[in-house]
Structure 1
Amino acid sequence: MRTRTMSGVYLPGDSTAVLRELPVPEPGPGQVLLEVGASGICGSDIGYIYHGHKGHRGVDGPAYRGVVAGHEPSGRIVAAGPGCRRFGEGDRVIVYHIAGCGLCDNCRRGYFISCTAPERQAYGWQRDGGHAHYLLAEESTCVPLPAELSYVDGALIACGFGTAYEGLRRIAVNGDGDLLVVGLGPVGLAAGMIGRGMGARRVVGVEVSAQRRRWADGLGVFDATIAPESSAEQTAALVADAVGGQGALTTIDCSGSKAGRATAIAGAAEWGRVSLVGEGGTLETEVSDALLHKQLTLYASWVTSLTAMAGLAVNLARWGVRPEQVVSDRFPLEEADKAYALAAGASEGKVVLVPGEPL
């Protein structure tokens, strides 16, 4: 019997993406096989895998284990292994990008991302991910994809929108105050869209890149987008003018930069709540005037839980918010090298791989 094969994208760590042929996997107990509808390219993949930068979660060197890349997949289940009870053939799902042990306290709360068991595996890092025609996934990591949302929507929820949502949940964004988003890359754009859905009175963005500010303006989500000044305090004054007050009650830094974090803190109003979700870099702040005297609360957040991700998908459908609006470029698997080069360089918004019909 002839073994079915498929194409998959691998990242050698030298700023290239290569396509290889591999067998289509068969689902085992508790596993499902997805026909991938879309798979996003994440900023963490670019830095830690694509460019081969050292260090991730305390690992000396990239934690990538030479598997099919991509931890932002969604698709349709085409086969279910023995013991699957919730999902079956034909179901449309998002894949939470970590398969945890399922037994530790973090896993039992749905935060597979924080599982520290040896068997913890991230899709696209330690086990084959979504940059392929098919993906073998644990049923326990699947989240229903509402009919109102596309596979591209689902791919964005799988990481970036989930990360933004968790950060906004921590600071309880609502209609009582304004929201400041610092860094208008894909996660920052997601934060703006979700913050609007959660009822933020006004949503203001700060972004260095004029190109990204123009892209954000075109979404119709932000009340204002601001180019940062030479100091966080000067930028905060512009934010205060934009919201007509003393600053934003809730702020979120998605830039992962020292300057961006300083802006999120300076731009917060008294008794404000600040969320940090951007990876990397350092945090440097004056304490008394910047934090204590303003009575600020800082929250740090690393991805969302499986249960919150499922709730987010339902909320997005209810709000009429389509994550795919932040996508500026779509590529087939065969053009993965071009897609990664764009995502690592001058892309306006999110870059997504859409595998198309399997061979």
Structure 2
Amino acid sequence: MTKRMMKGAMLPGNSTVAFAEFEVPKPGYGQVLVKTKCTTICGSDIRCIYREHLGKGPEGYQNVIAGHEPCGQIVEEGEGLKRFKKGDRVIVYHISGCGVCHECRQGFMISCTSDKRAAYGWQRDGGMAEYLLCDEKDLVLLPDELSYADGAQVACGFGTVYEAIEKIGVSGNDAVLVVGLGPVGLAALMLAKAMGANKLIGIEGQSARIELAKKLGLVDHVFTPSEENVAQVKAVTGGHGVERAFDCSASDPGRATAIKATRKWGKIAFVGEGGTVHFNPSEDMLHDQKTIYGSWVTSIWKMEDLVERLVRWNIHPEDLITHRFPLDKADEAYALMASGACGKVAVCFDEELPN
């Protein structure tokens, strides 16, 4: 029997992309084969794998197909399926956990500590290929009202922000600050606006991302990073500061700004990965009764809630995509995403590519 082959992209490190031919996988018990339609590029891929492949810890692997934000359509079923079927449009929750630990049973496979835990695009093959082998338990149904490019971003970025928003709460009572307007920060603004935030403020240094935020009507005020940011935010909030702040920059001064620019009794969510933060706990947080939350990705059940709400709010994550590439130009896609001079970058297949 002739083997079915497909092209895939890998991240060997040193800011490079490698292409190779792979055998199209066959789904086993409880698994499906997904035809990839769109895979977006996450900043954590750039930080952890694209630029420097550490070869230890979470990055201790090689020869894995990249891409942990995939979305596509089931084209082949394995035995033992309980819910999904051939033809279903699906988002892939990008961590496949053991399924039986305390965190997995809450739907937070991201926090699974079992040695059986494997992330798509990190420890097991991801979405930078024509087909993707998935466990049924890792799938979220993509509503017809959302595109595959919408769904790809739910797989990580939008799901991550939604979790943080759920933790600290956003409503029409709130002025909201987002520090760092990369794709995750832009997603935070889009969702906060949908939830009725009465004033949206951003801090960002990349002109392309500032212009995208303005074009989409996601900010009332936007400032470039400086020592004046806290004063600037307070000046447009009646001298008080914001009720809710999100740091998506992962920078030390950005995080400190998010804390200091939040008013008394306000709440701050740290979303950006890596880096450090320095602040005065008493002066900057304790005396003003502020609360800081850490938030890492989301649960699979909240992803299901999110796609339902995206339809209800009639908002589309794909609006944040500024560049789409075919798979054979994935090297250009990763280089652009690493530059930061863009919104979200996607590798697309079939109808998800521009005409």
Does structure 1 conserve the Cα–Cα contact (< 8 Å) formed by 2:266 and 2:290?
Answer: yes
Which structure 2 segments of 5+ residues have no match? Answer: none
Shift in alpha-carbon separation, 1:245–1:53, aligned structure 2, 3 A: farther
Letter in 1 for 2:307: A
The 5 Å alignment of 1:315-330 reads 315-330=309-324
Q: 2:343 aligns with which of 342, 345, 349?
A: 349
Q: 2:225 aligns with which of 219, 225, 228?
A: 228
Does structure 1 conserve the Cα–Cα contact (< 8 Å) formed by 2:206 and 2:341?
Answer: no
Which structure 1 segments of 5+ residues have no match? Answer: none
The C-alpha deviation readout for 1:39-64, integer Å capped at 9, x for no partner, is 01111111211112538xxx558234
Separation (CA, whole Å) in 2 of partners of 1:294 and 1:54: 41
Q: 2:35 is paired with a residue of what secondary structure?
A: strand
- What residue is the counterpart of 1:303 in the other structure? 297
Separation (CA, whole Å) in 2 of partners of 1:299 and 1:91: 36
The 5 Å alignment of 1:284-303 reads 284-303=278-297
Letter in 2 for 1:146: P
Runs of 4+ in structure 1 deviating by more than 4 angstroms, as ranges, are none
- What residue is the counterpart of 2:244 in the other structure? 250
The C-alpha deviation readout for 1:62-89, integer Å capped at 9, x for no partner, is 2344210000000011111101111001
Letter in 1 for 2:78: G
Does structure 1 conserve the Cα–Cα contact (< 8 Å) formed by 2:182 and 2:340?
Answer: no
Separation (CA, whole Å) in 2 of partners of 1:69 and 1:53: 12
What displacement does 1:105 show? 0.6
Separation (CA, whole Å) in 2 of partners of 1:116 and 1:92: 29
Superposition CA RMSD, Å = 1.4
- What residue is the counterpart of 1:15 in the other structure? 15
- What residue is the counterpart of 1:143 in the other structure? 140
Does structure 2 conserve the Cα–Cα contact (< 8 Å) formed by 1:6 and 1:21?
Answer: yes
Separation (CA, whole Å) in 2 of partners of 1:291 and 1:64: 40
Separation (CA, whole Å) in 1 of partners of 2:269 and 2:170: 11
Say if 2:330 is the partner of 1:336: yes
- What residue is the counterpart of 1:90 in the other structure? 87
Shift in alpha-carbon separation, 1:119–1:65, aligned structure 2, 3 A: farther
What displacement does 1:245 show? 4.5
Shift in alpha-carbon separation, 1:61–1:142, aligned structure 2, 3 A: closer
Q: 1:39 is paired with a residue of what secondary structure?
A: strand
What displacement does 1:346 show? 4.0
Q: TM-score, normalised by structure 1?
A: 0.95
Separation (CA, whole Å) in 2 of partners of 1:263 and 1:39: 33
What is the percentage of aligned positions where both structures have the same residue? 51
Say if 2:41 is the partner of 1:41: yes
Shift in alpha-carbon separation, 1:350–1:131, aligned structure 2, 3 A: same
Q: TM-score, normalised by structure 2?
A: 0.96
Q: How many residues are matched?
A: 351
Letter in 2 for 1:38: C
Q: 1:11 is paired with a residue of what secondary structure?
A: strand
The C-alpha deviation readout for 1:122-143, integer Å capped at 9, x for no partner, is 0001100000110000000000
Q: 2:231 aligns with which of 233, 237, 244?
A: 237
